[in-house]
Amino acid sequence: MSRKRTFASRELVQNHLPNCFALKNLDYGSEDITIMGDGLAFISTGLKFPGMPSSDATGKIFSLDMTDPRMKPVELRMPRNFDLESFNPHGISVYIDPSDYAIYLFVVNHPQHKSQVELFQYVEDDHSLVHLKTIKHELLRSVNDILAVGVDSFYATNDRYFTNAFLKSWLEPLLSQPWTNVVYYSPEEVKVVSEGYYFANGINISPDKRHIYVADLFDHNVHVLERKEDNTLVSVKAVAVNSLCDNVEVDAESGDLWLGCHPNAWKAIMFDPKDPPGSEVIQIQNIHSDQPVVTRVYEDDGHVIIGSSVAATYGGKLLIGTVFHKALCCDLN
């Protein structure tokens, strides 16, 4: 892994927001967060990612009602027929069925560091998840994030080309080639729809569903892609973010992109508790215009929050999640 690509020499700074506090119950990461239109957030925790610190805690999914002033995450009850011991949740995405408003939660899972997608239905009455199916496919080889576009269809990013542990952890970062991709999955067809990324990471969709956004961690940019009728993606442009951005969330009203980023990823890879990696939240406004506005909304040198991976907003509040540390809630105003 080159020091240049990971911004190894970048000095970390503090640029805080008012009234930040750590969310309860989320001590083992909050790698991905997604918030629905009514303020209900889903949070994945307990990710064990190769090369990153992690705990022995099993993976869990939490919900958080952003309209409740107590702001307390609730652990979702998992079904008995599901292997919780090996549950290793990564990217998540929600799909609401327009015909009956059923809520489907798609979760990238890495049992024994393999890659598969778990499809759940959320039951609001008792804060539980019903497991519907596990999806595996040879093209879903190293899935990082997922974007649900139907009750059983989605886009997924692969962040590595190799599946062999040694090759993907050591050789691939050393070669640093744009070999990763985006895959479209449906029961009818599975295909690569976009490629040429150094490390395809977060993926999301515009409010009008016409464009898809993909963060390339090691190329320090966000790709804007147009979605075609046959679900293929055509590149429109890439917007430089000057950071290693992880997950992408989209504000449903403004269309702004919110990114949880690693300002100095070298520190995350070489983890030293005395010199921790920092955190950074980036907002992109007017991404489809000739001059998108890229703003650093929050920065920390690792003394408050370590290794931010996602940022999501609702009702003037900002949630910041991390790969293996705590989660923060701050006021944006």
Confidence of residue 1 (pLDDT cuts 50, 70, 90): low
Whether the predicted pLDDT of 25 surpasses 90: yes
Closest CA to 175 of 158, 160, 190: 160
Domain count, the chain: 1
Q: What is the pLDDT of residue 112?
A: 92
Strand partners, 299: 15, 280
Q: What is the pLDDT of residue 167?
A: 79
Distance of CA 124 to CAs 40, 128, 315, Å?
10, 7, 21
Closest CA to 106 of 138, 73, 140: 140
CATH number of residue 147's parent domain = 2.120.10.30
Least confident of 25-39, 42-56, 223-237, 294-308: 42-56
Within a 10 A sphere around the Cβ of 259, how many other Cβ atoms?
Answer: 29
* 2 located within any domain: no
* 9 located within any domain: no
Whether the predicted pLDDT of 166 surpasses 90: no
Q: Is 92 a known ligand-binding residue?
A: yes
Q: Is 251 a known ligand-binding residue?
A: no
Q: What is the pLDDT of residue 244?
A: 95
Instruction: Please list, in sequence order, all residues whose beta carbon lies within 8 angstroms of the beta carbon of residue 223, skipping any fewer than 6 positions away.
Output: 194, 197, 213, 214, 215, 216, 235, 237, 238
Confidence of residue 246 (pLDDT cuts 50, 70, 90): very high
Strand partners, 128: 77, 123
Contact 284, 272 (CB under 8 A): no
| Catalytic position from the list 16, 90, 113, 127 | 90
Distance of CA 216 to CAs 16, 80, 158, 297, Å?
25, 37, 11, 20
For the entire predicted model, the pTM comes to 0.96
- 43 or 271, higher pLDDT: 43
90 catalytic per annotation: yes
Domain that holds residue 186: 21-331
Q: Is 247 a known ligand-binding residue?
A: yes
Q: Is 31 a known ligand-binding residue?
A: yes
- In this prediction, residues 35-63 reach a mean pLDDT of 91
* 7 located within any domain: no
Whether the predicted pLDDT of 208 surpasses 80: yes
Confidence of residue 176 (pLDDT cuts 50, 70, 90): confident
* 296 located within any domain: yes
* 15 located within any domain: no
Degrees to nearest 5, angle at CA 13 with 3 and 204: 70
- In this prediction, residues 193-215 reach a mean pLDDT of 97
How far separated are the first and last CA of the chain, in Å rounded?
38
